[in-house]
Structure 1
């Protein structure tokens, strides 16, 4: 849409056409070439930026940030690749073309993604959509965290399937969810209940148990979060995650940035 808008604008402003003559754009070979190439180009840019990953975990601030920087980078690439050699009367026409393409793509893309993301967030906040969640640990700190999560005005998206005891004595969570056994059965419980989120609520003194749990979770496709009280144990390897208002810290197990992982995956395919 932004590519079409650009060519219609150039026809009206630079070539003395009219807005009703927009069909003339289809006679331009570069316009047709752009319609074939540019959608694929933007799909690649957005994939590298990780904009298609975890669609249910996205939020509006993230959309604004990613759409803005991908638009800046992508439009500059398109401008220098396809528009810089145009015959112009004044250099101001370059600025005008760049501005139309930039604002057009940013507006259309952001509007569409915000509509989808807003709909997704509303369904999660209303409880219509949720993520199967397992809690590891059942001490008083875990109870306080679960009570805080359940007391949020907007549903954070957790569907608690149960909890696992970390040391055999932490059963305080039984009043909120089923007791699924001990932490030794972590892997089988995740597979049986199709767990997508794991909340670690282990006491700060159980370092050995925490290390064992993280080793098991390392190779599993689950999101791992911990209660803030044990943040110092994992200093430097976690990032705050409060998209849906939950007071938790998400463990980022990916060493490489998303754009590097996407490029590496593309190179592996080639």
Structure 2
């Protein structure tokens, strides 16, 4: 059954949030006006600030309830939770400033408000991360379990069971299966939890056993039974989730739309289709690329000198690649091949011990330093810092016929690095695996995800054993 304690936990979350906000208020007040570490300015009565802190806390709680921040999140990543925290605090701060303006409260320190708001986001993020981490560890040890009953012991139900076993930190345990066509598993799946009965016995099993969620993993021909199944679950107070029999063609995070009053599943929902997300990513790209060019400018000069000193020809190699919306663009790289053979690379892979490479070019490829000019592609709008790697038109035409969903990668700007590259899929590696990672990135994009990929790229280093 649904945990009765959920309402209590929600109230505790709200109470802790409110108390943290007031503690941050006291800390910010001390730091700004009493510590002597910051310019204090004109002193303002403590009671005035305390009143606005209480109002800010009320706004935070209202925003948290409206955005479902207190709903169960064991299935959600921390980045999802952190993004909501930032949105709620930013919106609440704007509301507070608007209220101050309307009431003509001019005696408020702007630097104090900034300190107060930033501290609140940091404290909320840190304490929720520690709580989420502790709960995951707690669940891995077998505590705070939620029990799942799977309807359907076919390939769909078995696959869900197998995936569930690989995520013990989420705290879900399958108690068994219900199936109309078999009463026990095949010998090769004998280690699975038992088949407890037929689907029509669901109501009785929900009465006898502690079940928190029912997972419907039935084939399409069982669709007439769905209404009775959902009704039985709701009567028992049990959550119901449906795995569509066609789930393998859906994105990792399907989006439900509404058309003419009918709910529809959007097969390819892309976060970067939203204007605000595109603006956020583009702003980050311009800032990051500009900083990278400034920081690496001495290195760019040294590499240019090295190329000129070791071989004849231009410093920068230009190659046509396919980018956003299947449009071609000119991608820049430091030249790593002899000038008289570089152009032959448009329709041929670079191989190990490739005679076309220069000695200095081999070093540039192995260290990925040949990619540095692509930060200019980012500034020009051809590329992003993070995204699927762009490919040459010749291979795009080939791969779109051979690799399923290959062309999905062109729904967003290509990147200098990506989720595939951050997971070691660079150079001479599986195209299918790369596309799987690229599509996951496209469907799950967030600014925090970009930062994670960049951080992972730096931590792993730029040495590429698969680069020839």
TM-score (norm 1): 0.67
Mark the runs of 5 or more structure 2 residues left unpaired by the alignment: 1-22, 257-262, 268-468
| CA displacement 1:17-69 (0-9 Å, x = unmatched) | 7xxxxxxx7x5221332454443443333222222222545541222111010
What's the CA shift string for 1:238-258, capped at 9, x where partnerless?
799xxxxxxxxxxxxxxxxxx
Residues 53 and 67 from structure 1, CA distance in 2 versus in 1: closer, same or farther, beyond 3 angstroms? Answer: same
Listed as ranges, the matches of 1:105-254 within 5 Å are 105-150=120-165, 152=166, 154-165=168-179, 167-169=180-182, 171-172=184-185, 175=190, 176-218=192-234, 221-227=237-243, 229-231=245-247, 236=256
Q: Residue 7 in 1 paired to residue 29 in 2? A: yes
Task: Name the residue aligned to 1:45.
Answer: 63
Deviation at 1:190, TM superposition (A): 2.0
- Per the alignment, do residues 239 and 190 of structure 1 end up closer, same or farther by CA in structure 2, a change over 3 Å counting? farther
Matched with 2:96 is 78
Relative to structure 1, is the Cα distance of residues 153 and 56 closer, same or farther in structure 2, using a 3 angstrom cutoff? closer
Higher alpha-carbon deviation: 3-12 or 184-193: 3-12
Distance 1:153 1:87, change over 3 A: closer
Task: Indicate conservation of the 8 Å contact 1:127/1:155, yes or no.
Answer: no
Aligned residues: 225
CA distance in 1, matches of 2:193, 2:49: 59
Q: 1:40 to 1:183 in 2, by over 3 A?
A: same
Say whether the 8 Å CA contact 2:233–2:239 is kept in structure 1.
no
Aligned residue for 1:133, secondary structure, equals strand
Structure with the larger RCO, 1 or 2 (CA within 8 Å, 6+ apart): 1
**What is the alpha-carbon distance in structure 2 between the residues aligned to residue 53 and residue 113 of structure 1?**
13
What's the CA shift for 1:145?
Answer: 3.3
Query: Structure 1: where are the runs of 5+ without partners?
Result: 18-24, 241-270
The more displaced of 207-216 and 70-79 is: 207-216
Kept in 2, the 8 Å contact 1:163–1:180? The answer is yes
Q: Cα deviations across residues 144-172 of structure 1 (Å, max 9, x unaligned)?
A: 4323433x26554322222212x344643
Going from structure 1 to structure 2, the CA distance change for 1:169 and 1:64 (only over 3 Å counts) comes to same
Root mean square deviation of aligned Cα: 3.5
- Give SS of 1:172's match: coil
Indicate conservation of the 8 Å contact 1:134/1:199, yes or no: yes
Higher Rg = 2
What SS does the aligned partner of 2:221 have? coil
**Given the superposition, is the C-alpha separation of residues 9 and 78 from structure 1 closer, same or farther in structure 2, using an over 3 Å criterion?**
farther
Distance 1:204 1:186 in 2: 19
Residue 425 of structure 2 corresponds to which residue in structure 1?
A: none
1:150-204 Cα deviation digits (max 9, x unpaired): 3x26554322222212x34464378322332222222232232121121212123
